[in-house]
Structure 1
């Protein structure tokens, strides 16, 4: 199987959320007209929270439930935590 990705990005440490702040970083300047997306993505929440993925409907996650998507799932272009004050970490492959 050929290599799909070119790198990883993620939280440098446990981070505390700001309500509705985008977790997926903006694309590097040299990626002209290409939006950064993760073909694999893992999110770990320390408290119960609600997330929105790719602009979809709110999804409730219990404390420490987390969220994982793999290469067979939709690419993650947008991921927000609805509430502020949630401790979390994430990692994504692009």
Structure 2
């Protein structure tokens, strides 16, 4: 992943690149069938994006990710940070 992608996220969110890298690393090694891991990732993304995610929305996101079995990639995170 190129540096400009992470700088875009950093400038958009005000989150240091180190935290973005830590999130990317967690996603890379996450078991997306494990609800606790998926929930932690969703919570971390919402925290980094400085957006409150209502419990029912978090539940829907977690269930969707687990059911799809695909996991997340950095583009998915970028969309979540954009609020799309």
Tell which has more relative contact order, 1 or 2 (C-alpha 8 A, sep 6+).
Answer: 1
Higher helix content, 1 or 2: 2
Indicate whether the TM-score tops 0.5. Answer: no
The structure with the larger Rg is: 1
TM-score for both structures, normalised by structure 1: 0.28
TM-score for both structures, normalised by structure 2: 0.30
